Structure formats: structure tokens, C-alpha cells
């Protein structure tokens, strides 16, 4: 029955949204790195990265539980690449000073 399909589909959706600052603290990652990754909506599964109205002019960005899982998987994958996080950030044309700040937080094996 179609109603059952819709209800089961809705139940599977995450009901929690976490700010990027919360995500950074939860998973122990650099906030600037998370902001850079999530600035490109193609890096996170559709529907898992959301804009949140928080009373400010610009609002903020948030991730669902599945979005956090996807972010962690992407970060793990990037860290296996030659050049890892640094090359990813260079490829994204990030400011060299920002790259230095992010790399200062990376495990020494990566640097």
C-alpha cells in the first residue's frame, strides 16, 4: 500500500540537525575544514546538508545524522589520497593561510 511506503520512508529520515560547529566538536575535526567541504553541496548526499534559519541574516548550515556519516566517510577517503587533506584544499583553491590553520590540526602522519 502506498501509505505504508510513505510512512516507512518518513520514519527513516533523520529528525536531528546539527550545526557545523557541533559536528566539528562531535567528530573532532577542524571547523574550517568542515565548512570548506560543506560549501560544495556535491560533497554531501542530497537532503543531508540543510540551511537553518537561526535568526541571523545569513542563517547557518546543518547536517543530519546521515550527513555526518557521509562527511566522516568523505574525510576518511580524502585522507587516503596522495596529498590528502592538503591537496584537497589546494584543489578547492583555498586561501594558503586557511590551509596552514587546517593542516596544523591534522595528525602528523598526514602532514
Q: What would the pLDDT profile of 21-36 be if each residue is shown by its tens digit? A: 999 999 999 999 999 9
Q: pTM for the whole thing?
A: 0.81
Pairing of strands 49-52, 18-19: unpaired
Phi, psi of 97 (to 5 degrees): -65, -40
Task: Catalogue the E-assigned strands of the chain.
Answer: 18-19, 49-52, 60-63
- Rounded to whole angstroms, the Cα distance separating 91 from 43 reads 14
Read off the pLDDT band of 107 (50, 70, 90): confident
Q: Give the percent of the chain with pLDDT over 70.
A: 84
Cβ-proximal residues to 18 (8 Å cutoff; 6+ apart), any chain:
26, 62, 63, 64, 65, 68
What are the boundaries of each domain within the chain?
15-105
Amino acid at each position: 500500500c502506498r501509505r505504508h511506503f510513505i510512512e516507512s520512508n518518513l520514519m527513516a529520515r533523520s529528525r536531528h540537525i546539527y550545526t557545523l560547529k557541533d559536528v566539528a566538536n562531535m567528530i573532532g575535526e577542524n571547523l574550517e575544514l568542515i565548512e570548506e567541504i560543506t560549501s560544495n553541496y556535491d560533497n554531501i548526499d542530497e537532503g543531508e546538508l540543510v540551511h537553518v534559519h537561526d535568526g541571523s541574516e545569513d542563517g547557518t548550515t546543518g547536517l543530519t545524522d546521515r550527513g555526518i556519516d557521509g562527511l566522516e566517510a568523505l574525510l576518511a577517503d580524502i585522507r587516503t589520497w596522495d596529498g590528502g587533506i592538503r591537496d584537497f584544499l589546494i584543489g578547492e583553491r583555498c586561501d594558503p593561510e586557511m590551509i596552514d590553520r587546517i593542516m596544523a590540526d591534522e595528525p602528523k602522519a598526514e602532514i
